Amino acid sequence: MTTTISVPNYTPAILPYPEPITGNSDDISNQLLYKNAPVFSRGHGIASDWNSTPYKYVECVSEIFTSALPTFETPSVSADIELDNGEALSIEMLELSKIEDNSTGDIQLVNMLSSYGSWIERQVALMELISEPMLKDKAGEHIKACKSVLDRMREGYNFLKSSRNVKRAFQLTNLSMYEQQKHAPKTIRNVGFDENGHIQIDKPYKDNFALGKWRPFQIGFLLMCLKGACEKDSADRENVELIWFPTGGGKTEAYLGLTAFTLLYQRMVHGGNADGVQAIMRYTLRLLTAQQLQRAATLICCLEVIRKHQRILGKPFSIGLWVGGSNTPNKRKQALRQLSELKSNVKYNRRFDNPFLLDMCPYCSA
């Protein structure tokens, strides 16, 4: 049964539920972010709702009602940004792979920094319209954090322009990320043998379609982390950087870009002496571990091809997985036995667990 309270003639007259501005810093931050989404009723033992259009600010409504199974459509979040002239901001990996002063890639980065700065100034203007002192102070904290990020991005951009090694590592990072998009495995190319024992693959290799573009937050993250990745005494090394974005938004691409830059920069500076582990990735879900391993392995393969073509000093780039023998075989003999068991279970439709996290070449899909 639904209980409804309506105003005669549906004239908006029901005011928002009183919301005192209290709580910890996060509570006040949320109250600021949702200040234009007032609550008009609260349910006790049941949910409640009201007749207003989502995402449209209203000062009062004409009807509130109970709802045993409330629904709400969450809008999709876009990482796309429009410049002040209405054009979409485009940041292309291939252009950044050959960045020089006033080149296309250079102009794209300048446009991004300028656009972010303009957005911050618009938020400052909106902050002045806030009447509640606590919310206004919190808005000031948000603006300060945004300006700090912009300062770090600009600092990374200037660092890129002033250091030959940083620029070269940045150029090759963009090339490797573009190649990684082209080579990310899609379908398996089956391998067989002819009568002479020579390897044969059932279909030729074909590149994926590569968009070859950064989302602004991805390249912004890379720029703001450049100095921290290169300078041991950088204050940025005291920070723990957090990327928050919905699933499928491009978080992996962002940190893989920083990983590629770190590996390449160490080679630019230390040459053949650049050795050891440069990046550690940790995941709490086994399925996520396998998926991210495959993506990282494709990038490592692309980096190795670039290393050979560019004659970069040092050992081959490599990647490893530390999960223990219960998850994937550690020795060849164990791997052969588990492969035989896997084939038998598949053939006879028995239940099976696949212990092989890489089922195809991460570079060519064979």
55 and 180 co-located in one domain: no
More confident residue, 350 or 176: 176
Least confident of 16-20, 261-265, 286-290: 286-290
- Is the domain of 124 the same as that of 46? no
Please tell me whether residues 34 and 161 are part of one structural domain.
no
Is pLDDT of 360 > 80? yes
The predicted model gives 133-159 an average pLDDT of 96
Same domain, 97 and 246: yes
Answer for the pair 229, 258: CB distance below 8 angstroms, yes or no. Answer: yes
Residues 155 and 304 in one domain: yes
What's the pLDDT score for residue 197? 77
Q: How far apart are CA 347 and CA 296, in angstroms?
A: 31
> Is the same domain home to 249 and 298?
yes
Between 87 and 286, residue with greater pLDDT? 87
Q: Which domain holds residue 17?
A: 4-67
Q: Which helix (H) or strand (E) holds 332?
A: helix 332-347
Q: Residues 6 or more apart from 351 whose CB is under 8 A from it?
A: 345
| 303 part of a folded domain | yes
Amino acid at position 178, single letter: Y
| pLDDT per residue as tens digits for the range 169-191 | 999 999 999 999 999 877 888 88
- Band the pLDDT of 40: cuts 50, 70, 90: very high
Residue 285 lies in a domain: yes
CA torsion angle 140 142 143 146 (round to 10): 160
pLDDT of residue 348: 82
Counted domains in the chain: 2
Q: How confident is the model at residue 11 (pLDDT cuts 50, 70, 90)?
A: confident
Cβ–Cβ under 8 Å, residues 180 and 356 = no
Q: Is the pLDDT of residue 46 over 70?
A: yes
For residue 192, name the pLDDT band (cuts at 50, 70, 90).
confident
Looking at residue 287, its pLDDT comes to 66
3-state secondary structure of 200: strand
Q: Residue 256: how many CA atoms within 13 Å on its side-chain side?
A: 26
Residue 272 lies in a domain: yes
- Between CA 214 and CA 218, with CA 217 as vertex, the angle to 5 degrees is 45
Per the domain annotation, does 77 fall within a domain? no
* pLDDT score, position 292: 85
More confident residue, 325 or 2: 2
pLDDT of 166 higher than 90: yes
Average of per-residue pLDDT across 57-75: 89
Looking at every residue in the chain, the average pLDDT score rounds to: 90
Find the helix packing angle between 164-183 and 133-162, rounded to 10°: 100
Same domain, 26 and 101: no
Residues 28 and 123 in one domain: no
What pLDDT sits at residue 286?
Answer: 67
Average pLDDT, integer, range 339-365: 83
108/251 same-domain check: yes
Per-residue confidence (pLDDT) for residue 162, from 0 to 100: 95
> Which residue has tokens 């940045």?
170
Q: Based on the domain organization, do 165 and 118 belong to the same domain?
A: yes
Write out the DSSP string of 269-288: HHGGG--S-------SSHHH
Q: Is the pLDDT of residue 327 over 80?
A: no
pLDDT score recorded for residue 289: 76
What is the SS3 assignment for 98? coil
Q: Are residues 228 and 272 in the same domain?
A: yes
- pLDDT, tens digit, 9 for 90 and up, residues 228-257: 999 999 999 998 999 988 888 899 999 999
Measured at the alpha carbon of residue 134, what is the angle toward residues 138 and 40, in degrees to the nearest 5? 100
What would the pLDDT profile of 261-283 be if each residue is shown by its tens digit?
A: 999 999 999 988 888 899 998 88
Least confident of 197-201, 209-213, 240-244, 330-334: 197-201
pLDDT at residue 246, rounded to an integer: 83
Let me know whether 114 and 31 are in one domain. no
> Mean pLDDT: which of 15-29, 69-83, 137-151, 208-222 is highest?
137-151
In a domain, 41, yes or no: yes
The CA distance from 228 to 333, in Å, is 43
The pLDDT value given to residue 284 = 75
Specify the pLDDT at position 205.
83
Average pLDDT over residues 290-296: 85
344, part of any domain: no
Residue 203 falls inside a structural domain? no
Pairing state between β 4-6 and 47-50: unpaired
